[in-house]
Structure 1
Amino acid sequence: MLTWLVFGAVLVALVLGLSRPQSSAFGDFSFASGGDADLPCPWCRAQTNEDDRACPSCGQNFG
């Protein structure tokens, strides 16, 4: 009896899980953003350039 109850609960969970639209944890983030879209500074989130060795805003070294 307990086996059938567990089986039914797992089956319902699977059906409900598969019926929902899957959403990405990354939102609209795209790896192929192209252009001059460089990553921001991980410490202060300021705009950086690819050839920067340190953040132009807070001075933290990269790498």
Structure 2
Amino acid sequence: MYWYPYYPPYIVFPYDPIALMYSVLQWLWYPYYVALTLEIYRITLESIRKAMEMLKEHREHVR
């Protein structure tokens, strides 16, 4: 099982306009969702790293 979400299928059956619009909308949103999730992870890890550095500096000043 892969860690990334599954993309919608290429071929939509039955070929009605509502199903095609739904499939196209999914193909448009999935890349933005994945990019936003990765950006949130990056921001979270960066803030944790900065907090650890601040704690380390504070600990050095206390000594």
- Which has the larger helix fraction? 2
Interval of TM-score (by shorter of Structure 1 and Structure 2): 0.3 to 0.5
Structure number with the bigger relative contact order (C-alpha 8 A, sep ≥ 6) is: 2
TM-score normalised by structure 2 residue count: 0.35
